[in-house]
Amino acid sequence: MNEENLSAGDILAWYVLAGVDETLGELPFGKEISEAGQPVVQVMQKPAEVVRPVGLSVQPLQESEEGRRPATTELAQATINACKNARELCQQAQSLDELKALVEGFEGCALKLTATRTVFGYGSPHPKLVLVGEAPGADEDRAGIPFVGRSGHLLDLILKAAGFDREKDCYITNVLPWRPPGNRTPTTAEVAVCLPFLRRQIELASPEAVILLGGSAANALLENEEPISRMRGKWLEYQTGDGRKIPAIATFHPAYLLRNAAQKAKIWSDFLRLRKKIS
Ligand code: URA
């Protein structure tokens, strides 16, 4: 087939084969578009351009003596403002429903631009357990509910086998309420901006125990950099913003178990330890 004869469908199929399966914006990067909407000149992406989360109010920064501040400084300032904004919103929310509405209206995290839905926590508002994963995947992004894909089904089986009812006993959530494009690892800034929402969910749900599914959730909430293999297998403690100490368990993420079935015995022993303490 001659290149010029390629249809839009052929090109799309080629993109999918090459792994390009996410739309990140309406315009291509590194191209200039004429007023008529035609790409006209191919240019290098401007190095100093700041990609700023939409709707974020960024305080004007003092210009340094040498001229403009580097873009990274502006981005860091935008992240600091977004974190502050998230913390203030959290203080306004006196129930999980109120917090959900505030998170849905929050514009301080650019992940919202590429996600289909906001995936807020789901389950009992007065649960025995709060379970925390990393971020929604493709299935959760479509459904708007955490842990409904393959990992979610495995989690349901584990909970049931340990004698917990997902709907009655659990509130399930993630560090991030928006899916990172292509399931990439969340950045430190994205985690920092969204963390106040997670911490407030735990405060409002006030569970008997917190279950941290995987290293990312455990590192974010326990504020450490320990590998999950060193954190699991014992009782830990999570401290809420208002000073309450809640027993916590860090264990493997169900997605890891789908790839490493040999580790299932370990997550099972973690849930049995949990069952002994929380009946
Ligand atoms: N993995 C997660 O960490 N969270 C989900 O909601 C689904 C998969």
User: How do residues 7-55 score in pLDDT, each as one tens digit?
Assistant: 777 777 776 666 566 666 555 554 445 555 554 444 334 334 444 444 4
Cβ(180) – ligand 1 distance below 6 Å: no
Cα distances from 89 to residues 94, 107, 151, in angstroms, run: 10, 12, 31
The pLDDT value given to residue 70: 74
CA 175 to centroid of ligand 1, rounded, Å: 9
pLDDT in tens, 110-135: 999 999 999 999 999 999 999 999 99
Residue with tokens 């994205």: 190
Distance CA 188, CA 58 (A): 19
Percentages (nearest 5) of helix, strand, coil residues in the chain:
45, 15, 40
Q: Which residue has the higher pLDDT, 231 or 55?
A: 231
Cβ(207) – ligand 1 distance below 6 Å: no
Cβ(252) – ligand 1 distance below 6 Å: no
The pLDDT value given to residue 3: 55
Mutate to test the pocket of ligand 1, among 171, 174, 185, 216 (most ligand atoms within 8 A of CB): 174
Cβ(79) – ligand 1 distance below 6 Å: no
pLDDT in tens, 233-276: 999 999 999 999 999 999 999 999 999 999 999 999 999 999 99
CA 41 to centroid of ligand 1, rounded, Å: 41
Look at residue 77 and tell me whether its pLDDT is greater than 80. yes
The pLDDT value given to residue 16: 65
CA 151 to centroid of ligand 1, rounded, Å: 7
Res. 226 pLDDT band, cuts 50 70 90: very high
